Amino acid sequence: MTENCSDPRCPIHGNLSTYGLELTGKVVSNKAKRTVVVEREYLIYVPKYERYTKNRSKLHAHLPECMSVDVGDIVRLKQCRRLSKTKHWVVLGKEE
């Protein structure tokens, strides 16, 4: 973490307010500037077969200036206002 964070869309140093759901996921891409792609795996119950099926979904999340993550990291996300066409989540930090 760096001290001087000038990102206005940082939930800690900026004025971005977060609300709603919080979840964790795995970083699958950090190529874009200040954006990460996070993949989530979850189980869905299928009544017909009385079993669970694994599902995956990808989310785009805003990565504040003061944080750096690598592919494979588990991160905590929090819902926020729509930041771009596909971004309405922000990275809160790494999950240990």
Residue ranges that bind Zn ion, judged by CB under 5 A: 5, 10, 12-13, 64, 66
Give the shortest CB-15-to-Zn ion separation in angstroms: 11
Which of 34, 40 has the CB closer to Zn ion? 34
| Strand 18-29 with 35-46, pairing | antiparallel
Which of 25, 64 has the CB closer to Zn ion? 64
State how far the Cα of 24 lies from the Cα of 44, in Å rounded to an integer: 17
Give the shortest CB-1-to-Zn ion separation in angstroms: 8
Give the shortest CB-9-to-Zn ion separation in angstroms: 9
**CA-based angle 2:87:65, to the nearest 5?**
10
3-state secondary structure at position 44: strand
Give the shortest CB-25-to-Zn ion separation in angstroms: 20
The one-letter amino acid at 69? V
Nearest-CB residue to Zn ion? 5
Distance between start and end Cα atoms, the chain:
15
Which of 17, 44 has the CB closer to Zn ion? 17
